[in-house]
Amino acid sequence: MQNPFAIILRKKTRFTRIIEHSLFWLTYFGFYIFYQVLSYDYDLYLAIRDNVLFLLIDICIAYIIIYLSDKFLIKQRYFILISLSIITISFGVFLYRILFIHLINGYFYEKSDMSFWEFHYLNYLYGLSFPVALINILHLLRKWVNSQNEMLEIAKLQVNQELNFLKIQMNQHFLFNTLNNIDSLIYSDPETASQTIVNLSNLLRYSIYETDVQRVTVKKEIENIINFIELYELRLAESDKIELKISGNYDNLFIVPRLFIPFIENALIYGKKDDDSKIYISITFCDKKVILTTMNQVKKIEYFKQGGVGIKNIKRTLDLAYQERYSLDIKNKDNWFTVKLVINLDDEGDNEMYNC
């Protein structure tokens, strides 16, 4: 069944948005002029001439308020938003009065005996606030619907990621190899065998039960990555080399679950790990920004496509969850495959990227 909000939620070009907003203002202005002509027996030409400049003020004030809402509402800075909105609307009323006194009354009708300060503030306020409030309500409604749809898409993608994860990583072959390695360790190294069982249990529990939320703590995600790599290392020879480096402070940070596993998985599966090469996995935290880097020499380049298993879903999840607050760079140069993913884990309203 097609999403009933498909028309509202479809991606729009800048030109399309300009057309839509222009149609809104033309429609509003047309109804306003129609009301004035019918209700006050106003001449059509004079009604358009006298009100078109008021419309320009409405447009300017409306988009200033939209900008303020986008900047402060999502950060829950309500006092700043309300204060700046009141100042902006008051400034709009002041412009209304200047336009009426000096252009409409003074120039068009050649009347100069009207006092600037003797007017009904509420009448001006209503005339300005109605179109400004109307377009802001429509703007916030669209953002809310988009947000709900993005949350739904992220949830669907997480389900797909979980299925891919269980099919590829937690499939029978993976479990068989892991259990086989545990079996061989029971007699030679019982302590390691016991710890491996705990790691496998934690990995399964995290994948099935703990990732049904939009965000998990970075601490849990790091623990899951370490468990995954430790289990994978059981299948390797002593000469194989994997270097994992985690640095920086990630206390009180949250992230969409299992964003890193597909990149790490591809590095482990397709990377050379012999005496002449090594797989490098680095996760660095700096000023609420996380940087994942994987480097590996490719052993089977024909099996590794830049999309990778699960990479397409991960890219879509990044687009939905972090929008302009991430960068992903994938390179295959001189037989070295490099992935660098940078995500700003700061609050949703701040797109600034910090320098580490």
Q: Is residue 241 over pLDDT 80?
A: no
Q: Is residue 338 over pLDDT 70?
A: yes
C-alpha dist (Å) from residue 158 to 171, 202, 344: 18, 19, 20
Tens digit of pLDDT for each residue in 113-134? 666 566 666 777 777 788 888 8
Task: Tell me what pLDDT residue 47 has.
Answer: 76
- Over residues 293-313, the mean pLDDT reads 63
Task: Tell me what pLDDT residue 291 has.
Answer: 96
> Residue 108: pLDDT band by 50, 70, 90 thresholds?
low
If residue 223 lies in a helix (H) or strand (E), which one and from where to where?
helix 218-233
Distance CA 84, CA 4 (A): 36
Task: Tell me what pLDDT residue 160 has.
Answer: 62
State the residue for tokens 């300005």.
128
State the residue for tokens 């028309």.
7
CA angle (121, 125, 126) in 5-degree steps:
120
Q: Is residue 343 over pLDDT 90?
A: yes
Lowest-pLDDT choice from 28-32, 290-294, 326-330 = 28-32
Task: Tell me what pLDDT residue 258 has.
Answer: 80
Q: Is residue 238 over pLDDT 70?
A: no
Query: Which domains can be identified in the chain, with CATH numbers?
Result: 6-147 (no CATH), 169-344 (3.30.565.10)
Lowest-pLDDT choice from 15-24, 114-123, 132-141 = 114-123
- Identify whether the C-beta of residue 237 lies closer than 8 Å to the C-beta of residue 275: no
> Residue 329: pLDDT band by 50, 70, 90 thresholds?
very high
Distance CA 275, CA 239 (A): 6
Task: Tell me what pLDDT residue 2 has.
Answer: 39
C-alpha dist (Å) from residue 279 to 244, 260, 290, 296: 8, 15, 20, 5
DSSP string, 106-125: IIIS------SS-S-HHHHH
Lowest-pLDDT choice from 107-121, 231-245, 299-313 = 299-313
> Residue 328: pLDDT band by 50, 70, 90 thresholds?
very high
Phi first, then psi: give them for residue 313, nearest 5 degrees.
Answer: -65, -40
Q: Report the chain's mean pLDDT, rounded to a whole number.
A: 76
Selection from 21-25, 67-71, 126-130, 326-330 with the highest mean pLDDT: 326-330
Tens digit of pLDDT for each residue in 32-44? 888 777 877 777 8
> Residue 275: pLDDT band by 50, 70, 90 thresholds?
low
> Residue 349: pLDDT band by 50, 70, 90 thresholds?
very low
Tens digit of pLDDT for each residue in 53-96? 888 888 888 888 888 888 887 778 888 888 888 888 888 888 87
Residues 6+ apart with CB under 8 A from 289: 342, 343, 344, 345, 346, 353, 354, 356
Lowest-pLDDT choice from 47-56, 69-78, 242-251, 267-276 = 267-276
Q: Is residue 344 over pLDDT 80?
A: yes
**Which of residues 347 and 19 earns the better pLDDT score?**
19
